[in-house]
Protein backbone atom coordinates (compact mmCIF):
# COMPACT_ATOMS: atom_id res chain seq x y z
CA UNK A 1 0.00 0.00 0.00
CA UNK A 2 1.29 3.43 -0.90
CA UNK A 3 1.91 5.95 1.86
CA UNK A 4 -0.91 8.44 2.13
CA UNK A 5 -0.05 12.11 1.68
CA UNK A 6 -1.22 14.91 4.00
CA UNK A 7 -4.51 16.57 3.11
CA UNK A 8 -4.08 19.50 0.70
CA UNK A 9 -6.35 22.38 -0.39
CA UNK A 10 -8.48 21.98 -3.52
CA UNK A 11 -6.92 22.23 -6.98
CA UNK A 12 -9.27 22.74 -9.94
CA UNK A 13 -8.47 20.92 -13.16
CA UNK A 14 -10.26 20.91 -16.49
CA UNK A 15 -11.93 24.31 -16.01
CA UNK A 16 -11.11 27.97 -15.56
CA UNK A 17 -12.08 28.49 -11.93
CA UNK A 18 -11.45 31.61 -9.89
CA UNK A 19 -10.43 30.49 -6.42
CA UNK A 20 -10.69 32.32 -3.15
CA UNK A 21 -7.79 32.52 -0.67
CA UNK A 22 -6.71 28.96 0.20
CA UNK A 23 -6.53 27.95 3.83
CA UNK A 24 -3.96 25.88 5.66
CA UNK A 25 -5.49 22.42 5.71
CA UNK A 26 -4.80 20.23 8.71
CA UNK A 27 -5.52 16.52 8.92
CA UNK A 28 -8.95 15.76 10.36
CA UNK A 29 -9.44 13.02 12.93
CA UNK A 30 -13.18 12.56 12.50
CA UNK A 31 -14.80 10.00 10.22
CA UNK A 32 -16.56 11.74 7.34
CA UNK A 33 -19.05 10.03 5.06
CA UNK A 34 -19.15 11.61 1.61
CA UNK A 35 -20.67 10.72 -1.74
CA UNK A 36 -19.29 11.08 -5.22
CA UNK A 37 -15.58 11.52 -4.52
CA UNK A 38 -14.78 9.79 -7.79
CA UNK A 39 -13.20 10.52 -11.13
CA UNK A 40 -14.71 9.48 -14.43
CA UNK A 41 -12.10 8.58 -17.05
CA UNK A 42 -13.33 8.27 -20.65
CA UNK A 43 -11.66 7.55 -23.99
CA UNK A 44 -10.53 4.05 -23.01
CA UNK A 45 -10.60 0.84 -25.03
CA UNK A 46 -14.16 -0.46 -25.49
CA UNK A 47 -13.52 -3.65 -27.43
CA UNK A 48 -15.22 -5.69 -24.68
CA UNK A 49 -17.17 -5.07 -21.45
CA UNK A 50 -13.95 -5.39 -19.42
CA UNK A 51 -11.56 -3.65 -21.83
CA UNK A 52 -11.83 -0.19 -20.25
CA UNK A 53 -10.83 -1.50 -16.81
CA UNK A 54 -7.88 -3.39 -18.28
CA UNK A 55 -6.80 -0.34 -20.26
CA UNK A 56 -6.80 2.11 -17.34
CA UNK A 57 -5.02 -0.43 -15.12
CA UNK A 58 -2.28 -0.65 -17.74
CA UNK A 59 -1.96 3.14 -17.88
CA UNK A 60 -1.78 3.43 -14.09
CA UNK A 61 0.86 0.70 -13.95
CA UNK A 62 2.93 2.60 -16.54
CA UNK A 63 2.72 5.75 -14.43
CA UNK A 64 3.78 3.95 -11.25
CA UNK A 65 6.66 2.19 -13.00
CA UNK A 66 7.96 5.52 -14.30
CA UNK A 67 7.65 7.14 -10.84
CA UNK A 68 8.53 4.43 -8.30
CA UNK A 69 9.28 6.98 -5.56
CA UNK A 70 5.98 8.81 -5.95
CA UNK A 71 3.42 6.14 -6.68
CA UNK A 72 -0.25 6.88 -7.02
CA UNK A 73 -2.63 5.87 -4.22
CA UNK A 74 -4.50 2.59 -4.24
CA UNK A 75 -7.62 2.86 -6.38
CA UNK A 76 -10.94 1.12 -6.87
CA UNK A 77 -11.77 0.90 -10.58
CA UNK A 78 -15.44 0.43 -11.44
CA UNK A 79 -17.23 -0.03 -14.74
CA UNK A 80 -20.77 1.32 -14.45
CA UNK A 81 -22.02 -1.18 -17.04
CA UNK A 82 -21.24 -4.88 -16.72
CA UNK A 83 -23.07 -5.85 -19.92
CA UNK A 84 -22.01 -3.45 -22.66
CA UNK A 85 -18.62 -2.32 -23.93
CA UNK A 86 -18.15 1.27 -22.74
CA UNK A 87 -15.13 3.57 -22.94
CA UNK A 88 -15.08 4.87 -19.36
CA UNK A 89 -14.54 3.83 -15.75
CA UNK A 90 -14.92 5.41 -12.33
CA UNK A 91 -11.90 5.78 -10.05
CA UNK A 92 -12.26 6.09 -6.28
CA UNK A 93 -10.22 5.49 -3.15
CA UNK A 94 -10.68 2.28 -1.14
CA UNK A 95 -12.05 2.63 2.38
CA UNK A 96 -8.98 0.79 3.64
CA UNK A 97 -6.79 3.69 2.51
CA UNK A 98 -8.50 6.49 4.43
CA UNK A 99 -11.69 7.11 6.37
CA UNK A 100 -11.77 10.71 5.14
CA UNK A 101 -12.88 11.95 1.71
CA UNK A 102 -9.61 12.79 -0.07
CA UNK A 103 -10.32 14.45 -3.42
CA UNK A 104 -6.79 15.86 -3.32
CA UNK A 105 -5.41 12.33 -3.79
CA UNK A 106 -7.60 11.87 -6.85
CA UNK A 107 -6.23 15.15 -8.20
CA UNK A 108 -2.81 13.43 -8.21
CA UNK A 109 -4.32 10.65 -10.31
CA UNK A 110 -5.99 13.14 -12.66
CA UNK A 111 -2.74 15.05 -13.18
CA UNK A 112 -0.81 11.85 -13.83
CA UNK A 113 -3.33 10.61 -16.42
CA UNK A 114 -3.28 13.92 -18.30
CA UNK A 115 -0.17 12.74 -20.15
CA UNK A 116 -2.49 10.54 -22.23
CA UNK A 117 -4.15 13.08 -24.49
CA UNK A 118 -6.79 10.61 -25.72
CA UNK A 119 -8.39 10.54 -22.27
CA UNK A 120 -11.20 12.74 -20.97
CA UNK A 121 -11.09 13.12 -17.18
CA UNK A 122 -13.53 14.82 -14.84
CA UNK A 123 -15.24 14.49 -11.48
CA UNK A 124 -17.97 11.90 -11.72
CA UNK A 125 -21.23 13.88 -11.59
CA UNK A 126 -23.55 11.04 -10.53
CA UNK A 127 -23.80 7.30 -10.07
CA UNK A 128 -24.66 4.91 -12.87
CA UNK A 129 -24.09 5.58 -16.55
CA UNK A 130 -22.32 8.68 -17.86
CA UNK A 131 -25.30 11.02 -18.03
CA UNK A 132 -23.26 13.62 -19.90
CA UNK A 133 -23.70 11.37 -22.93
CA UNK A 134 -27.22 10.09 -22.24
CA UNK A 135 -30.12 11.46 -24.28
CA UNK A 136 -33.75 10.50 -24.65
CA UNK A 137 -36.54 10.99 -27.16
CA UNK A 138 -40.04 11.61 -25.87
CA UNK A 139 -42.67 9.66 -27.80
CA UNK A 140 -45.82 11.49 -28.92
CA UNK A 141 -48.87 10.35 -26.99
CA UNK A 142 -50.38 8.62 -30.00
CA UNK A 143 -47.24 6.74 -30.99
CA UNK A 144 -45.73 3.45 -29.89
CA UNK A 145 -42.26 3.32 -28.39
CA UNK A 146 -41.19 0.47 -30.67
CA UNK A 147 -41.91 2.51 -33.80
CA UNK A 148 -40.05 5.50 -32.38
CA UNK A 149 -37.06 3.34 -31.46
CA UNK A 150 -36.89 1.87 -34.98
CA UNK A 151 -36.89 5.38 -36.44
CA UNK A 152 -34.14 6.58 -34.08
CA UNK A 153 -32.00 3.48 -34.63
CA UNK A 154 -32.15 4.01 -38.38
CA UNK A 155 -31.38 7.72 -37.99
CA UNK A 156 -28.32 7.09 -35.80
CA UNK A 157 -26.98 4.21 -37.87
CA UNK A 158 -27.34 6.13 -41.14
CA UNK A 159 -25.19 8.92 -39.70
CA UNK A 160 -22.60 6.57 -38.23
CA UNK A 161 -23.28 7.63 -34.64
CA UNK A 162 -21.98 5.02 -32.20
CA UNK A 163 -24.25 4.27 -29.29
CA UNK A 164 -25.26 1.58 -26.84
CA UNK A 165 -28.56 -0.20 -27.50
CA UNK A 166 -31.49 2.09 -26.83
CA UNK A 167 -33.89 1.11 -24.09
CA UNK A 168 -37.45 1.98 -23.17
CA UNK A 169 -38.64 3.91 -20.14
CA UNK A 170 -42.27 2.96 -20.63
CA UNK A 171 -43.58 4.74 -17.56
CA UNK A 172 -42.21 8.00 -19.00
CA UNK A 173 -42.99 7.13 -22.64
CA UNK A 174 -39.45 7.70 -23.87
CA UNK A 175 -36.55 5.92 -25.56
CA UNK A 176 -33.10 6.47 -24.04
CA UNK A 177 -29.64 6.18 -25.63
CA UNK A 178 -26.07 6.35 -24.36
CA UNK A 179 -23.94 7.99 -27.06
CA UNK A 180 -20.23 7.17 -27.36
CA UNK A 181 -18.73 10.42 -28.69
CA UNK A 182 -19.25 13.71 -26.87
CA UNK A 183 -19.38 15.67 -30.13
CA UNK A 184 -22.21 13.49 -31.39
CA UNK A 185 -24.22 14.39 -28.28
CA UNK A 186 -23.84 18.10 -29.02
CA UNK A 187 -24.84 17.59 -32.66
CA UNK A 188 -27.85 15.43 -31.83
CA UNK A 189 -29.25 17.91 -29.33
CA UNK A 190 -29.57 20.38 -32.21
CA UNK A 191 -30.91 17.88 -34.75
CA UNK A 192 -34.60 16.88 -34.70
CA UNK A 193 -35.83 13.53 -36.01
CA UNK A 194 -38.96 13.48 -38.23
CA UNK A 195 -41.49 11.10 -36.70
CA UNK A 196 -45.27 10.81 -36.92
CA UNK A 197 -45.59 14.15 -38.73
CA UNK A 198 -43.59 15.87 -36.00
CA UNK A 199 -40.00 16.94 -35.39
CA UNK A 200 -38.68 15.38 -32.19
CA UNK A 201 -35.59 16.80 -30.49
CA UNK A 202 -33.62 14.68 -28.00
CA UNK A 203 -33.45 15.84 -24.39
CA UNK A 204 -31.04 15.46 -21.49
CA UNK A 205 -31.48 15.43 -17.73
CA UNK A 206 -30.39 18.54 -15.88
CA UNK A 207 -26.89 18.07 -14.55
CA UNK A 208 -24.36 20.16 -12.65
CA UNK A 209 -20.72 19.57 -13.43
CA UNK A 210 -18.81 19.30 -10.13
CA UNK A 211 -15.62 21.32 -9.96
CA UNK A 212 -14.26 19.28 -7.06
CA UNK A 213 -15.03 16.28 -4.91
CA UNK A 214 -17.24 16.87 -1.83
CA UNK A 215 -18.88 19.88 -3.51
CA UNK A 216 -22.13 21.05 -1.90
CA UNK A 217 -25.16 22.94 -3.12
CA UNK A 218 -28.40 24.73 -2.17
CA UNK A 219 -31.41 24.71 -4.49
CA UNK A 220 -34.06 27.38 -5.01
CA UNK A 221 -32.07 30.63 -4.83
CA UNK A 222 -32.88 32.07 -8.25
CA UNK A 223 -35.28 34.80 -7.14
CA UNK A 224 -33.04 36.16 -4.37
CA UNK A 225 -30.97 39.19 -5.33
CA UNK A 226 -27.20 39.05 -4.67
CA UNK A 227 -27.67 35.54 -3.32
CA UNK A 228 -24.12 34.33 -4.00
CA UNK A 229 -22.53 37.20 -2.09
CA UNK A 230 -25.00 36.76 0.76
CA UNK A 231 -24.35 33.03 1.21
CA UNK A 232 -20.60 33.53 0.79
CA UNK A 233 -20.68 36.10 3.60
CA UNK A 234 -22.77 33.77 5.79
CA UNK A 235 -20.27 30.93 5.29
CA UNK A 236 -17.31 33.20 6.03
CA UNK A 237 -18.96 34.42 9.20
CA UNK A 238 -20.00 30.93 10.32
CA UNK A 239 -17.05 28.76 9.26
CA UNK A 240 -14.15 31.18 8.83
CA UNK A 241 -12.92 33.69 6.28
CA UNK A 242 -10.91 31.02 4.45
CA UNK A 243 -13.64 28.37 4.43
CA UNK A 244 -14.53 28.70 0.72
CA UNK A 245 -12.24 27.57 -2.08
CA UNK A 246 -14.77 28.34 -4.84
CA UNK A 247 -18.46 29.14 -5.18
CA UNK A 248 -20.76 29.71 -8.14
CA UNK A 249 -24.38 29.70 -9.30
CA UNK A 250 -25.63 26.98 -11.67
CA UNK A 251 -28.77 25.96 -13.57
CA UNK A 252 -30.00 29.45 -14.45
CA UNK A 253 -28.69 30.79 -11.14
CA UNK A 254 -31.13 28.62 -9.16
CA UNK A 255 -28.46 26.47 -7.47
CA UNK A 256 -25.69 27.77 -5.23
CA UNK A 257 -22.59 25.53 -5.39
CA UNK A 258 -19.63 25.67 -3.04
CA UNK A 259 -16.29 23.92 -2.61
CA UNK A 260 -14.79 24.16 0.86
CA UNK A 261 -11.10 24.15 1.67
CA UNK A 262 -11.64 21.36 4.19
CA UNK A 263 -13.97 18.35 3.87
CA UNK A 264 -14.87 18.69 7.55
CA UNK A 265 -16.32 22.16 6.86
CA UNK A 266 -18.44 20.66 4.09
CA UNK A 267 -19.85 18.15 6.57
CA UNK A 268 -20.61 20.88 9.11
CA UNK A 269 -22.34 22.88 6.36
CA UNK A 270 -24.48 19.84 5.50
CA UNK A 271 -25.39 19.02 9.10
CA UNK A 272 -25.79 22.46 10.69
CA UNK A 273 -29.10 24.35 10.52
CA UNK A 274 -28.87 26.67 7.51
CA UNK A 275 -29.72 30.13 8.85
CA UNK A 276 -28.34 32.48 6.20
CA UNK A 277 -31.73 34.21 5.88
CA UNK A 278 -32.71 34.40 9.55
CA UNK A 279 -32.06 38.16 9.51
CA UNK A 280 -34.13 38.61 6.33
CA UNK A 281 -37.71 37.83 7.42
CA UNK A 282 -39.27 38.51 4.02
CA UNK A 283 -37.05 35.95 2.31
CA UNK A 284 -37.10 33.54 5.23
CA UNK A 285 -40.91 33.49 5.26
CA UNK A 286 -41.79 33.39 1.57
CA UNK A 287 -38.87 31.58 -0.09
CA UNK A 288 -37.49 28.31 1.19
CA UNK A 289 -34.24 27.07 -0.25
CA UNK A 290 -33.44 23.38 -0.02
CA UNK A 291 -31.29 21.95 2.75
CA UNK A 292 -27.59 21.76 1.79
CA UNK A 293 -26.65 18.58 -0.06
CA UNK A 294 -23.84 17.06 -2.10
CA UNK A 295 -23.98 17.99 -5.80
CA UNK A 296 -23.42 14.30 -6.54
CA UNK A 297 -26.64 13.41 -4.70
CA UNK A 298 -28.54 16.28 -6.32
CA UNK A 299 -27.45 15.07 -9.75
CA UNK A 300 -28.60 11.56 -8.85
CA UNK A 301 -32.07 12.97 -8.17
CA UNK A 302 -32.17 14.51 -11.64
CA UNK A 303 -31.62 18.10 -10.43
CA UNK A 304 -35.29 18.84 -9.69
CA UNK A 305 -36.50 22.34 -8.99
CA UNK A 306 -36.98 23.04 -5.32
CA UNK A 307 -40.07 21.23 -4.04
CA UNK A 308 -40.34 23.76 -1.22
CA UNK A 309 -41.33 26.41 -3.76
CA UNK A 310 -44.61 24.69 -4.60
CA UNK A 311 -45.40 24.06 -0.94
CA UNK A 312 -44.84 27.74 -0.14
CA UNK A 313 -46.86 29.11 -3.04
CA UNK A 314 -49.77 26.69 -2.73
CA UNK A 315 -51.55 28.15 0.36
CA UNK A 316 -51.41 31.71 -0.97
CA UNK A 317 -52.67 30.75 -4.41
CA UNK A 318 -55.45 28.44 -3.21
CA UNK A 319 -57.19 31.32 -1.42
CA UNK A 320 -57.70 33.14 -4.73
CA UNK A 321 -60.32 31.46 -7.03
CA UNK A 322 -58.88 33.26 -10.05
CA UNK A 323 -55.63 31.33 -9.57
CA UNK A 324 -57.12 27.83 -9.94
CA UNK A 325 -55.52 27.29 -13.33
CA UNK A 326 -52.10 28.33 -12.06
CA UNK A 327 -52.54 26.00 -9.08
CA UNK A 328 -53.26 23.14 -11.44
CA UNK A 329 -50.15 23.88 -13.53
CA UNK A 330 -47.93 24.02 -10.46
CA UNK A 331 -49.31 20.71 -9.22
CA UNK A 332 -48.73 19.11 -12.61
CA UNK A 333 -45.12 20.30 -12.71
CA UNK A 334 -44.46 19.00 -9.20
CA UNK A 335 -46.12 15.65 -9.95
CA UNK A 336 -44.19 15.14 -13.17
CA UNK A 337 -40.90 16.01 -11.47
CA UNK A 338 -41.53 13.60 -8.59
CA UNK A 339 -42.61 10.90 -11.03
CA UNK A 340 -39.47 11.27 -13.11
CA UNK A 341 -37.22 11.09 -10.07
CA UNK A 342 -39.02 8.08 -8.61
CA UNK A 343 -38.69 6.08 -11.81
CA UNK A 344 -35.10 6.82 -12.75
CA UNK A 345 -33.55 3.53 -13.68
CA UNK A 346 -30.66 1.91 -15.49
CA UNK A 347 -28.09 2.53 -12.75
CA UNK A 348 -25.81 -0.47 -12.87
CA UNK A 349 -22.68 -0.82 -10.82
CA UNK A 350 -20.41 -3.73 -11.61
CA UNK A 351 -17.08 -4.96 -12.90
CA UNK A 352 -15.05 -3.47 -10.03
CA UNK A 353 -11.35 -3.90 -9.48
CA UNK A 354 -8.87 -2.74 -6.86
CA UNK A 355 -5.47 -1.61 -8.11
CA UNK A 356 -2.63 -1.09 -5.69
CA UNK A 357 -0.38 1.92 -5.98
pLDDT band at 334 (very low <50, low <70, confident <90, very high): very low
Share of the chain above pLDDT 70, in %: 75
Whole-number pLDDT of residue 196: 87
CATH number of 216-301: 3.30.70
Average pLDDT over every residue of 335-345:
43
Question: Can you give the residue ranges of every domain in the chain?
Answer: 37-125, 134-204, 216-301
Q: Which of 204-218, 262-276, 313-327 has the lowest mean pLDDT?
A: 313-327
Alpha helices in the chain (DSSP H): 51-66, 103-113, 145-158, 182-189, 227-239, 263-271, 281-286, 295-300, 307-318, 324-342
Residues 63-100: tens digit of each pLDDT: 999 998 889 999 999 999 999 999 999 999 998 887 78
Q: Is 81 in contact with 348 (CB distance < 8 Å)?
A: yes
**Does pLDDT of 234 surpass 50?**
yes
Whole-number pLDDT of residue 345: 36
Q: The pTM is what?
A: 0.78
Average pLDDT over every residue of 116-138:
95
R_g (Cα) of the chain, nearest Å: 22
**Does pLDDT of 299 surpass 60?**
yes
Average pLDDT over every residue of 292-308:
85
Q: Which of 44-53, 156-165, 317-326, 346-355 has the lowest mean pLDDT?
A: 317-326
**Does pLDDT of 257 surpass 50?**
yes
Whole-number pLDDT of residue 329: 42
**Does pLDDT of 307 surpass 70?**
no
CATH number of 134-204: 3.30.70
Mean residue pLDDT across the chain: 82
Class of domain 37-125 (CATH, top level)? alpha beta
Q: Do domains 37-125 and 134-204 have the same CATH topology?
A: yes
Whole-number pLDDT of residue 19: 54
CA distance 254 to 270: 18
**Does pLDDT of 325 surpass 50?**
no
Q: Burial of 93 by CB count in 10 Å (0-12 exposed, 13-18 middle, 19+ buried)?
A: buried
- Name the nearest CA neighbour of 32 among 298, 263, 355: 263
Amino acid sequence: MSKIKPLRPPVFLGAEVETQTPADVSESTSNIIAFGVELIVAGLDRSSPTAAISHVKKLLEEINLSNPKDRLPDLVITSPDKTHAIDYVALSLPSTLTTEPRPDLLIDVWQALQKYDFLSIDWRPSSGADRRRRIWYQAPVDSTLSNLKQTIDSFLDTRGIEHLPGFYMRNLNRVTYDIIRFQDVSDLLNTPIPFSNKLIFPLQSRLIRPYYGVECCLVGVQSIQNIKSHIDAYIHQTYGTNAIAHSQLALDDDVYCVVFNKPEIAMRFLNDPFSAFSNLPNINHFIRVSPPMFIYNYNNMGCPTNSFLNKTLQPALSSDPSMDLLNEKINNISTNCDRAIAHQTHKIEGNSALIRG
